[in-house]
């Protein structure tokens, strides 16, 4: 193989996650699959068609480059929505390809109308409200001005949606802030209703909001992490699976979609009292059988996992010894029988009944599961299994 590791995407797990989530949100709520960050590391070009196979027709990305990628693999009738960055010159492309986008400032609104005039197609926009996240979004006075502009330019602009994002719906410590945001959304919605500007769908919920605050699901939910089989955090899992189940722990209804695998590159016997690899961070006590795995920090295996991380070799959990290098790491396989060049290595996933979760990987590196996934390089080959 030309690559040093590969990613497997579990189709069955994905379809089960979708069924569980869609069932929870009900048939009247559109399910938008959030595929920004290269579909949370899973790969846009794999996850979008897979989503379509299981009935998803709405996809959310962050930026124009991701929208372009998504457009290349989408089927007719699938909607692409940009939730963040698109520069004025790309608006014409978005408008002529029917890609909808968030508008959170007057400048983009005017540029959208201009692009619509130029292309002869209507700009499909989502008005983002500032409800208390303080990232992007119109506050009330700006919103009124924007609505006047939209009304005057109604032949060129369609308001497809009204939206906001919550500032940490996964954590109970943000409860009051989120509740306040929900109220502010309601108030700004009234402003739109009073303006007489027609609007499409109201959408505010990410995975955590949709799970913890069912009222936020409205007409459309933007679901990222949960569809990939992961919980936004442990609290959300406890809320959904344990509290709602009479405090009984039931089976996790979400299943991880991704696994990350490699193989042993070489095996070496190292005598006792020798430093392994660069520097002097690991000294062997006794004779050690060491395997080299061709995955390093360039592939997304964090250097902070030096002398700390674990991988599975032939279905056994083994420690990383020494520093993680740019392209490889060394692991101690003294206790594992029969390790040789080509032996199975699992970095994230299950082998021999042992599971190496993204959560444990993320915890050791002090990274969110979101970050761990999104940092997986785009050029690792992905296969649907
Ligand atoms: C605007 C917006 N909506 C939805 C999501 C999806 O969030 P999650 O992955 O927690 O479902 C995100 C992700 O950060 C986002 O920025």
- Mean pLDDT, the chain, whole residue set: 96
Specify the ligand 1 atom closest to the Cα of 34. Answer: 6
pLDDT at 145 over 90: yes
For position 362, what pLDDT does the model report?
A: 78
Question: How many C-beta neighbours within 10 Å does residue 248 have?
Answer: 9
Q: What is the DSSP string of 268-301?
A: EEE-SS-B-SSTTS-B-SS-EEEEEES--GGGT-
pLDDT, one tens digit per residue, over 273-290 is: 999 999 999 999 999 999
| pLDDT recorded at residue 251 | 85
Q: What is the pLDDT of residue 212?
A: 96
Which pLDDT belongs to residue 147? 98
Our answer to whether residue 278 is catalytic in this structure is yes
Q: Residue 241's pLDDT band (boundaries 50, 70, 90)?
A: confident
pLDDT band at 365 (very low <50, low <70, confident <90, very high): confident
User: Coil, strand or helix: which one is 31?
Assistant: strand
Domain ranges in the chain are 11-245, 258-356
- Ligand 1 lined by 34 (C-beta under 6 Å): yes
Model confidence, pTM: 0.97
6 counts as catalytic:
no
CATH of region 11-245, choose from 3.40.718.10, 3.20.20.10, 3.90.1170.20, 3.40.50.150: 3.20.20.10
User: Do residues 352 and 312 touch, judged by C-beta distance below 8 A?
Assistant: yes
Question: Helices (H) and strands (E) in the chain — how many of each?
Answer: 12, 18
224 CB within 6 A, ligand 1: yes
The single residue of 151, 175, 190, 278 carrying the catalytic annotation is 278
Looking at residue 7, its pLDDT comes to 98
pLDDT band at 361 (very low <50, low <70, confident <90, very high): confident
Q: What is the mean pLDDT of residues 307-335?
A: 98
Class of 258-356 in CATH? mainly beta
Q: If DSSP codes are grouped into helix, strand and coil, which group holds residue 336?
A: coil
SS3 for 24?
helix
Average pLDDT over residues 300-312: 95
Which pLDDT value is given to residue 368? 85
Q: What angle do CA 199, 202, 208 make, to 5 degrees?
A: 165
Question: DSSP class of residue 28?
Answer: T
The per-residue pLDDT for 289 is: 98
- Residue 332 burial by Cβ neighbours in a 10 Å radius (0-12, 13-18, 19+): buried
Q: Is 21 in the pocket of ligand 1 (CB under 6 A)?
A: no
| pLDDT mean over 219-240 | 95
**Taking each helix axis from N to C terminus, what angle separates 175-195 and 140-152, rounded to the nearest 10 degrees?**
30
In the reported structure, the alpha carbon of residue 132 is separated from the centroid of ligand 1 by a whole-number distance in angstroms of: 16
* pLDDT value at residue 224: 98
pLDDT of 360: 77
Residue 166 pLDDT greater than 80, yes or no? yes
| pLDDT for residue 250 is more than 80 | no
What percent of the chain stands above pLDDT 70?
Answer: 100
> Does the CB atom of residue 203 touch ligand 1 within 6 A?
no
Supply the DSSP symbol for 229.
Answer: T
Q: Which of 14, 22, 36, 40 is catalytic?
A: 36
* Ligand 1 proximity of 69 Cβ (cutoff 6 Å): no
Q: How many residues does the chain have?
A: 385
pLDDT reported for residue 245: 73
CA nearest to 18, candidates 61, 46, 50? 50
Which residue CA neighbors atom 5 of ligand 1 most closely? 206
């Amino acid at each position: 193989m030309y690559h040093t590791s590969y990613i497997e995407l579990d189709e069955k797990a994905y379809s089960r996650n979708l069924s569980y989530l869609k069932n929870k949100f009900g048939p009247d709520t559109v399910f938008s699959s959030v595929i920004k960050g290269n579909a949370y590391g899973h790969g846009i070009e794999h996850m979008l068609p897979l989503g379509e196979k299981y009935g998803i027709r709405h996809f959310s990305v962050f930026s124009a480059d991701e929208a372009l990628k998504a457009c290349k693999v989408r089927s007719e009738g699938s909607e692409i929505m940009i939730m963040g960055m698109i520069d004025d010159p790309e608006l014409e492309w978005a408008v002529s390809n029917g890609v909808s986008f968030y508008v959170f400032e007057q400048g983009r609104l005017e540029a959208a109308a201009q692009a619509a005039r130029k292309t002869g197609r209507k700009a499909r926009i989502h008005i983002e409200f500032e409800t208390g996240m303080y990232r992007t979004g119109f506050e009330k006075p700006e919103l009124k001005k924007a609505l006047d502009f939209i009304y005057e330019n109604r032949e060129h602009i369609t308001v497809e949606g009204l939206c906001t994002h919550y500032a940490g719906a996964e954590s109970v410590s943000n409860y009051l802030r989120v509740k306040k945001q929900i109220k502010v959304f309601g108030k700004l919605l009234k402003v739109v209703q009073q303006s007489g500007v027609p609007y499409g769908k109201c959408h505010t919920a990410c995975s955590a909001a949709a799970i913890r605050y069912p009222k936020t699901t409205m007409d459309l939910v933007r679901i990222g992490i949960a569809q990939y089989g992961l919980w936004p955090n442990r609290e959300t899992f406890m809320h959904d699976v344990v509290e709602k189940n009479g405090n009984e722990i039931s089976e996790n209804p979400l299943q991880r979609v991704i696994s990350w695998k490699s193989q042993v590159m070489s095996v070496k016997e190292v005598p006792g009292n020798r430093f392994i690899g660069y520097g002097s961070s690991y000294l062997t006590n006794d004779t050690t059988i060491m395997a080299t795995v061709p995955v390093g920090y360039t592939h997304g295996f964090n250097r902070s996992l030096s002398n700390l991380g674990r991988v599975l070799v032939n279905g056994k959990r083994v420690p990383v010894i020494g520093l993680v290098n740019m392209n490889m790491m060394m692991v101690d396989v003294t206790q594992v029988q029969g390790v040789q060049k080509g032996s199975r290595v699992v970095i994230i996933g299950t082998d021999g009944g042992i599971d190496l979760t993204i959560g444990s990987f993320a915890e050791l590196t002090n990274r969110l599961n979101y970050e761990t996934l999104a940092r997986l390089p785009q050029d690792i080959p992905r296969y649907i299994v």
